[in-house]
Amino acid sequence: MQIVACPSCGAQVQFKSHASVVAVCEYCRATVMKDADAVKDLGKMSAVLEDYTRLQIGSAGTLAGRGFSVVGRIQLKYAAGMWNEWYLLFDDGATGWLGDSSGQYTVTTAMDATSALPAFEDIVAGRHYNINDERFTAAETRSASCIGGQGELPFKVGAGWQTRVADLRHGSAFVTLDYADGDTPVLYKGLAVTLEQMQCQLLRDDEQIRQTAGRYRGRLEALDCPSCGSAIGYLPGVTTSLVCPACQAVLDASTPQAQILAQSANVTGVRTTLALGATATIGKVTWQLIGAMTRADDEGSGWTEYLLYNTAAGFFWLVETDQGWSRSAVMASWPEWASVKADSASIDQVSFRKLYDYPATVQWAAGAFNWRVAAGDVVRVFEFESGQTRLAAELTGEELTWSRSTPVAFDQVRSWFGDTPAAIAPKKPPSTGSATRFALWILGLNAIPLLFNFSGTIFWVVIAIVAIYLSEHFFGAKNP
């Protein structure tokens, strides 16, 4: 460990890793660069946005029998959101990175490339590429800029520092190509992990997250919609992309003052079965519903998706369709899928056959999300099925994601949310009552001539009308 005096304020600045080039003074935010004979002040580093992450400087864990500690952090922002990169120092002196994005974690270390790597412009989400004689699928490409930093870092970085990165996956294996220094990327390779797998310690607890999330240190900002003034109910710090339920403005909350990214001309309200802010208890874990959106396919069939969040367990989706409910979560380990034209995908030696291939368009959204979402967004969806389990690949020009879903009975959903105003009765199929009324109306018209025909026929007409009414009264009311 090396300790130097901050050239700006004189406070002690620690360099725990010999590979670290700069460190951010925790007192005055000066970026201190370690030189051969002296230290230099490179200017102030922007404070990170204290978000929902459980990690912090000083967190520690074990990976493949190697202990590590978190010594630095950079926060990066791109068009669809933001993420954290935590700089790791292993007990044996090696270093690495812990990617932290929307509750998904990856650990990577730099390594040499044994063959030519693709140019950034040539990487397309969903396509396959050979990296060091292994085939990987492109998951995402993004251009990002640094918006804040903490602790020690292995290179000179500050406000305005930009990079281009491409992420690729194969099962749980993970590769990042970093084009920050030009057209020749730096190769980082590792795997998808969880905090539990790494036995992480010294994590932030729920109370610490509530006290700091959504604000810079010492500065708490109230969030009212800058477009219409309506209060937006959301969990502070959980996300940086918000959609106002009142005016449908898309907001960026990654700065102390929310900024309007887009405004919507269509502000028609949507009635959803579950309301924003509702809480669900599943097992012993409490989840909060922070976002909701409706989507439709190219044939006009629609459905509703609800985003739920827990500080320790992350995110999952509840999906409501005409056929029922399902629970869905993003997959960290990817299935084998030969190409977008393949009729099957497999994972854990289970084959899933392709059911559908369709575009899905966001019709309406409200609340908080872990990526930027707005009405009109379109993704291409590929659905696969094996038994009651389904896999879904969602593809855009920049990103491919996989999710796994299983059906959930509505009675189960209702028990999760309890007897709260949010757990309202599900919507009835619109045709049930209207069809009955239409049948009664037609039957009534046809019965008019019979009213003047004093035969036994009118008796059977009256019996038919009463039967239809009683059927709707006693059986229709039980239909959820």
Condensed to tens digits (0 to 9), the pLDDT of residues 445-471 reads: 555 554 455 455 555 555 655 555 555
Whether the CB-CB separation of 147 and 161 falls below 8 Å is answered with: no
Q: Are strands 259-262 and 250-252 parallel, antiparallel or unpaired?
A: antiparallel
Query: For the segment 17-75, what is each residue's pLDDT rounded down to a tens digit?
Result: 666 666 777 767 676 665 655 554 445 556 666 677 889 999 999 999 999 999 999 98
pLDDT of residue 216: 36
pLDDT of residue 161: 82
Strand partners, 61: 68
pLDDT cut 70: percent of the chain above it: 68
**Residue 138 DSSP label:** E
Write out residues in the chain with pLDDT < 70, as ranges: 1-4, 7, 10, 12, 14-22, 27, 29, 31-50, 158-159, 210-241, 246, 251-269, 419-480
Task: Determine the Cα angle at 73 with ends 72 and 77, to 5°.
Answer: 165
pLDDT of residue 20: 64
Whether the CB-CB separation of 43 and 173 falls below 8 Å is answered with: no
pLDDT of residue 432: 41
CA dihedral 358→364→367→372, nearest 10 degrees, is 50
Sign (positive or negative) of CA dihedral 472, 475, 478, 480? negative
**pTM for the whole thing?**
0.76
Locate all alpha helices (DSSP H) within 337-430, ordered by sequence.
410-417
Sign (positive or negative) of CA dihedral 187, 190, 195, 198? negative
